[in-house]
Structures are given as structure tokens and as C-alpha cells.
Structure 1
């Protein structure tokens, strides 16, 4: 008798449920569908602009007159929502173009709502694309090495921009500046202006991440000095992420977000288990760019890796995934 023959036969063989694609589909625990996907878009002032973003292959800066084709493709792919970032021609110390009714984001919101009324439009609320210094609000004074964003005066600007986006027709505003008290300030501003139904999607746990690199090119928002570690979260801190999220929930956030996604799956899971609000996660530019670069070198199967990464974010607990793969992932899932 061989050694193998003497081993008891297992009563439970989990491989039985993996024998073919139909069985695997029937017992799949986590579902990734097009309904989970949100497509980010970069709106630039000007005309006839469809400028490729070199560090993010397949992504573009779009002027308003180029937006209708992109929206038509997203609607055809059944993507439920878009997230808008604006790139203005005029930048100043306060980022005043952020609340300009004729600025890139309000103009894009109106155009999208006219073309596709049922597409959910989310407007990112931050000042970094609009300030001439590239930081997320009004700066403090002092020596260059001590200058940071002045928290409380910045709240008024974030609220003002949020009201401008709601007035243009945004369904959701998504504050990403990581200022203390920003949710309360924005909720108050929206309610005072009569926009009681506008949803606030809080970037509740946004980390000071190296994965944002390509976004700085896409949004033209690179800080002119220093970095954002004095207001975005330290990558080492998990319990602080729960504390940050709890504050936003208490201030009136409707939906929550963790950013980035791939390197922060533990944070997504922790927020999912702690809070009973819809949860989004942002698969950021660096995550997208790494998959693209590896695929371009023939090192990985792009479709399988991209879908697996999105499934992992979904499995961690996010029901909404902001991803630059949204449109092509929708096509892959349909196929």
C-alpha cells in the first residue's frame, strides 16, 4: 500500500464547485458589475481639446465641445456616474475659478445633464486645480517651510464651490481637501442655498499617497512647493482613518470614500464594517498607470489584472469604485 492510499479521503472537496465556469459563477461570493463603476473626467477650458495624458494611456483632458462623445460612450456602456475635475485657464491664490458659474465644472455639469439627464454627476470639491500654488486652499503666512493650508478660511471656499456645482445641477459634491469641518460647512452652505437633496460624498480617509503622481499631470495640480502631508493622512495610520470618517459621518456626510484603493484595502474593510453608509473607493492614477505600464511591456494580462484589482476593491467592501478603467471594464464585463 502506498503512502497516498493510506490517507483518508476528504469528505469535503471544495474543487467540486470550481469544475466549470457555470458552477464558479453560481457560487461566486462577490459580484463586480457596471453598476459599481464611476468614470473620472478632466474638463479643461478652451475648444477642440482632446489632449492625451501621457502618464495615463487612454485618458484625456477634454474641452466642453469634446465632452458629448465621451458621455455618449459612457451612457452606451451603462456607466451610472461620472466624477468631474476642472482645469481652468485662470488660477489665483484663492482658486476663485472653482465657483465661477461659467467655469469648466459647472459648464460641464449643465452640458451633461442636458445630454444625459439620468447620468449621476459628481463634482470633486477642492482648490488645488484652481490655485496658482497648487495647494488645496488658502495658505497661511510665514516661512516657506512652515506654510500650509489655513483650515477655517478654506471652508468657506469649499462651501462656495459646492453651491456653484449644485446650482449647475450636480447630483453629488465630493469634497477632497481634507480640511477639518469641511462636511459641516458644505452641508450648511448647500442647505442655506436650498440644495437639501444634494448628496455629499466625503473623501473621508484620503491619504498622502505616492500613487497620485500621474493625476498631478492630468489635473495640472502639482504643488509649487512642499507637499500635502500636513492635511492629507499619513499612510501608516489606520485608526486615524476611522476617526476621520466618524467626524465626517457626524457632520452629515451621505456617502464615504477611501482613497487610494489598492494599497488601502484594509482601510476600506474597516470603514465598511464600522459605518452603515454607502462606501466608495478610488482606484487612483498610479494604480491605473502601473497596470498599463506592465501590460505595455507584456508582463501581465491587462484585462485579467484590471478586473481582479477592481474585484478586490469590491470584495473589501466598496460598492462604488472610481476608476479610469470604468469604460473599458464595462465592456469587458459585458463580454
Structure 2
């Protein structure tokens, strides 16, 4: 697939030469015993970067969300989240199956729930209803097209929850895209929540891994849950080394992905202004309505593949394109030409 331009997701990136060198020379130990120096250093670095007491390296973001939520809530408790939340729809029902938690989805605007919405649904102190244990935010929001959770609203949601004794979690799989787009430090969003997960293998470009950060006592419970879920790794420094390189070098170049996504969006809008809401392209994702061209996402994706372009298309009118470090600006122009050929 090396000759294809892959716009399906930012998870498809390959490790850079610097990452491969770091992996080959990493100091390792048994991480289940807490003896892997490379993992320990990564956890400390991530926690300091986000302004938290501790970090926990996990294989995936899905596991990160589970071990964070499971440490903040008990079975039968309620988690308030946006209706399109990734852990609600796209993580295999794991929060319900493994943790026994109930979801209270709220219809947000562009993936954002408001402090007023949260204030209206929090339930505490009655035996008749599930106890609202956690309010969760997603930043950037995948299903909303990579939209950013505004920092002022995050602070307002945080105050409402904390005033009511409710914990907060942020699924920040693509948090550093929000940082790159706004100039707001990732630690500012982290300060709004108790626990936060972010992913090394999306825009940052590492081959595997996610990080959970939060208070030491909470992450101690998360560590126990990681083991229960099968996430205890041994000589994990090999992959932690690549994650460290990704975290140190990845954020500074994410604006390039955003520019490439904007180019794709503007090209689609030039073909038909109704195909893309340009105001909704905050970061590195473009959700296009190809129904305005009289076709479906799946049909367009199939046609683009014949042109050497990989995308994700639904059986309905929606097609998704995601930019990342392995797609150059020249390749974006090739993709634009292919879109014009297929759609016009």
C-alpha cells in the first residue's frame, strides 16, 4: 500500500527513522513490576507536560478511557457525555461491559456539551437514580469532525461538575491537535478535568500507545484496572521510546496537517459549497456530504481507490478524509485532482 495516498485515518502513520532508532536502543525492564525506565520516564514526562501528578502508559486509547472512568466511578454509576462520544459508540461497549457504568448522553453542538446542560442533569444523593459520578468531554471530537472543545466552555463545565462533587474526564485522543489549532496549551484543558487520556498513535505518529494522566491515587486504581483488562506489558520501553519521540516532536508539526485538511475542504467546497461546512474544519478532519453530487460515500471511496486514494465512505452521503504526517502537500494536490475527476 506504499503507493497509495491514505486519508482514512491518522492512525495509519509509519514510525519515523528517529522513532525506529529510539526503539532499537531503548532501555527496558518489566513494566508490570514498574521496572521499565523508559516507560517510567515517559509517564513522568507526560504528567509534567499536562500538569498532573502521575501518568500511566496503556496500549490503546480505549483502554485508557476504561481505566480512567473505572477509577472515578463504581458499577451502576452514571457518566454524562456528549451523544456522539467515541467511548459511547466506537469502543465496543467496553464501558458498559467491563465497568458496569451507565451513559447519560447529551446532544451537543459540534461535539460540545455546555455547563447549563451538565447542571440540568447531574443526579446525586438519591437511591432512586444512578449516581452521576463523571462528566466526560472529548477534545477534539471525532464524530463531530475533529471539532475543538472551547477552553472557556471546558472551564465552565468543570466548575459546574466540581461544585457538585462530580469528577471529570477528558478523552483527549487528539488533544494536541486542539493545542496546535488554538495556541492553548494542552495543560490548560487538563486542568479542567481529573483524568485525561491522549493518544500517541494518531496525529503524533507513534506506532502504538496512549497515556492516562491524573492524580496519583486515581491512577493507582487505573493501574490495577489496566492489569485486569490485560494491559500489563513487560518490556514496554521498546514502544514507549517511540511514543516519547512522538510526544517531543509531533505537536510542533500538526499545523501542517490542519493546512492540508483545509485545502481538501476548500477544494470540495469549490466543487459544491454544500459539500463541506468550512467553518466546521477545525483540525485535520474533513467530513464531506457527497450526496450533493448524487452519489454515496462508499461509491466515492471506491472510485478514489481506483485513483490511488484511500478514504472512508458510508453507505449514505458522508465521506471522511483525515490528514497526517505521512501525506505531503503535493499528495494532497494529487488527492484534490482525483476528487475533481470523480465528483465533477
- Using the size of structure 1 for normalisation, the TM-score is 0.30
Larger relative contact order (CA 8 Å, sep ≥ 6) = 2
Which of structures 1 and 2 has the bigger CA Rg? 1
